[in-house]
């Protein structure tokens, strides 16, 4: 069995959002999303956990370049969302700003740009009781023949 070593870094941003889909009538939106459908929106202090795995460098003892990862996540995620209204972001014009959709979006933004190693998982704390995760399923990888 091959070893796997992961590094996780937390990043934080504060943002407003409103859970609402134009695909459903207003009364259904209110029923599904309840107070999160409030037309004025509401805010969260989000924490994003970015987990990277890679080959252990025997000289440095590292699997990734943490400073380069910080620069990437700050540039592509934190600066984009911090103190913004997520529903105004171009990525969320047709996509509801749920935690599920946010972790998927953050994964897609980072997956091809991780400086050293590979993206393993994205975690997102939205509230004390809401935590979301995205990772690629092992089952979706091509099977060896």
Chain residues binding Ni ion by CB under 5 A are 36
* Residue 79 is a catalytic residue: no
The Cα-based distances of 16 to 29, 44, 45, 63 in angstroms read 18, 6, 9, 35
Least Å from the CB of residue 90 to Ni ion: 20
* Residue 100 is a catalytic residue: no
Nearer to Ni ion, 36 or 72 (CB): 36
Q: What letter would DSSP give residue 84? A: E
Least Å from the CB of residue 42 to Ni ion: 6
Least Å from the CB of residue 114 to Ni ion: 28
Nearer to Ni ion, 89 or 120 (CB): 89
- For residue 108, give the nearest of 141, 89, 136, 128 by alpha carbon: 136
CA distance 13 to 27: 31
Nearer to Ni ion, 36 or 95 (CB): 36
Residue number of the CB closest to Ni ion reads 36
Lay out the sheet containing 42-53: strands in order across.
84-85, 6-17, 42-53, 118-127, 130-134
| Catalytic-role residue among 85, 109, 120, 126 | 126
Nearer to Ni ion, 36 or 66 (CB): 36
| Catalytic-role residue among 42, 83, 100, 136 | 83
* Residue 126 is a catalytic residue: yes
Least Å from the CB of residue 33 to Ni ion: 9
The Cα-based distances of 15 to 46, 78, 84, 110 in angstroms read 7, 10, 5, 19
| Catalytic-role residue among 36, 85, 109, 133 | 36
- For residue 12, give the nearest of 120, 126, 110 by alpha carbon: 126
Which residues are annotated as catalytic? 36, 83, 126
């Amino acid at each position: 069995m091959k070893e796997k070593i992961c590094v996780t870094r937390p990043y934080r941003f504060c943002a407003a959002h409103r859970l609402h889909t134009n695909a459903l009538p207003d009364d259904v939106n209110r029923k599904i999303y309840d107070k999160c459908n409030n037309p004025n929106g509401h805010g969260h202090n989000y924490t994003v956990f970015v987990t990277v795995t890679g080959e252990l460098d025997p000289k440095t003892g590292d699997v990734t370049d943490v400073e380069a990862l910080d620069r990437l996540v700050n540039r592509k995620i934190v600066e984009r969302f911090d103190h913004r209204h997520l529903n105004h972001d171009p990525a969320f014009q047709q996509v509801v700003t749920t935690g599920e959709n946010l972790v998927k979006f953050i994964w897609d933004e980072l997956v091809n740009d991780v400086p050293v190693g590979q993206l393993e998982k994205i975690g997102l704390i939205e509230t004390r009781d809401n935590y979301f995760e995205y990772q690629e399923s092992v089952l979706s990888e091509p099977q060896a023949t």
